[in-house]
Structures are given as C-alpha cells and as structure tokens.
Amino acid sequence: SAQRASTRAIGSRAMASRAIGSRTTRARRATPTRALRNFDYPEALLFDCDGVLCETERDGHRVTFNKTFKEFGLDHEWDVALYGELLKIGGGKERMTHYFDGVPDAEPWKSVTDPEARKELVKKLHLRKTEMFLELVNEGALPLRPGVKRMVAEALEHGAKVAVCSTSNEKAVQGIVNTMLPEYADRMPVFAGDVVPKKKPSPDIYNLAAKTLGVDPARCVVVEDTHIGCTAAKAAGMRCCVTKSIYSEDEDFSRADAVFDCLGDEGDERVKFHQLTTPGDFWLNPPLPVDYDGNWYNADKEEDPDDG
C-alpha cells in the first residue's frame, strides 16, 4: 500500500542519513538503502615502503648511500638534515643525480661530464648501495613500524588485496617484504623502482597497481608517510592514510584523508581495517556514499519522492 511504501522510504532515508553522519535529522531522498554502498571495505590496501613499512630512511638508506660514496672514493656525506631535504626528490638514482648536479665542481661530476656516462655511474652507485641496504635488512636492523603486520593480516582476512608501491629499488623493497613479512610475502606484490617512467609525486605507480590488481582506484586506501607520496595517491584518485615518519613530521598533509603517528600494534591501534569503510568516521573529509548509478547521495538535498 501507499502507506507501507511511504514508511519503508522514510526508514531507508533515515538509515542512510545516520550512516553518513548528516547534520540533517531527516533525509528526504527516496534512494533505497539497499542501493547505497554505505559501508564498503577497500578493495585494496597499498603501502609505501620506506618510512611506512619500516623507518628505513635515516638509519638505512642514508647510511648505505654514505658507505657507497666512501667505497667509491667520493668525498660526500649526507647528514640527517641534508638527507631530509633530499627526500623531496623521489627515487634513489634521481636523488643522487639531483645532489651531484648541485655540486658540479666536485667528483664525480667534475671528471664525468658525458650525460650517458653519468647515468651509468649513478646506476652503478645505486646498485652497490642497494646491496649494502639489503645486508642491513637481512640482519633485521630495520624493524617493522607499529601496526603494519596487524593491518596487513586484517586486510587479507577481509579479502582485500595488499601490495607495496614504492619509488625505491625493487630488490630492496622485495627484500623488506620477504624478510619482515615472510608469511604474507606471496600475497603482497611489489610495484617499485623503474617499473613506471615517472616517480612519485606522479600517480603512475598507483595507477599501475590498480590496473594490475583489477581494483577501482576509488576503493583503494594508500598508507603513505610523505607529502609527495600522499600527492601521488590522491592524484590516482585513491584515499590516503598518512603515518608520519621521522622525516615527515612537519610536512603538509592537508590533502590526506587521515593522519596518524603510526597504525598501532594490537591493543594500541590507531585504526583497524574494518574502519577503512566508505564512509568512515575517522576520515578527515568523509565522502558521501554513492548509489549504483554512480550518483553521490546527499541527505541534505531535499527531494520529494513523488516528484517526477
């Protein structure tokens, strides 16, 4: 009857209104609740590596860059502050090239002037640096950050795909995953290094991951620790949850969807996987749910269900 239909419509609208935390106490749209994807879990959880899985930058990459310079007879040493500035450049080879370009009268650029020869030298330096870095990883000198293992397990339990997307060398990233998360490594594909032409803040690495995994970018959640990483995730149309690292404490995360000091181990969780829903209460700017026609649901918009 018309009365029963009206009652169902009112109930559906009220449920949808509560789900998105609307200030309006009475929703007016006639979209049935079953057509709203109110509490979707992410299809994929994508982790950056350095600074997210482990605090690798200060005591891992920086240290092995310096060891490499010394081994090759180069009079360069990146202190903690300088390396923090260099992290604004995505990718290890790109970072070295940027630095050497800034000191052209010092070795190796003083002697190596041909552009192609410079590229080959940087590749050689980076290869050796990666070998040293992997030695540190295999020694267990770089532990996982709080909550990483827990969140990976929760995501896989909920049927989500999990991957690592990094600008770092693929061998180095795979080494961290294999060593620190051995029980999940076969279910955590790695997208890293030169697999895409442009490094972060370009969204290329995240676009590739979404396409390869067969997931909707809008239903991917990225865990990042830097401004350039967050920029890449957002440019790919994904949500970004930031866990601040040693070097990124003071960076601009105004575009992030959530910001934490870490994910938090069991009993001290900052967020759990089941809270990464659409919408989710902890998001800084929770979006409205969409109906199956792809239309945003707005409980504040007044529509008469009998119109049209």
186 is catalytic: no
Output DSSP code: residue 138. Answer: H
Query: Rounded CA gap, 261 and 191, in Å?
Result: 25
Helix (H) or strand (E) holding 177: helix 170-180
Considering only CA atoms, which of 193, 251, 247 is closest in space to residue 58?
247
Distances (CA, A) of 156 to 82, 167, 269, 291: 38, 24, 17, 26
Annotated catalytic residue within 48, 204, 225, 257: 48
Q: How far apart are CA 149 and CA 156, in angstroms?
A: 11
Catalytic residue among 40, 50, 268, 300: 50
250 as an active site residue: the answer is: no
Peptide bond into 287 cis (omega under 30): no
Angle between helices 62-71 and 115-138 (to 10 degrees): 120
> Which phi and psi angles does 73 have, rounded to 5°?
75, 25
Helix (H, G, I), strand (E, B) or coil at 165: strand
φ and ψ of 274, to 5 deg = -70, -10
Instruction: Give me the sign of the Cα torsion angle 73, 75, 80, 84.
Output: negative
Structure tokens at 34: 């079953």
Containing 206, the helix (H) or strand (E) segment is helix 204-213
Q: Which residues are catalytic?
A: 48, 50
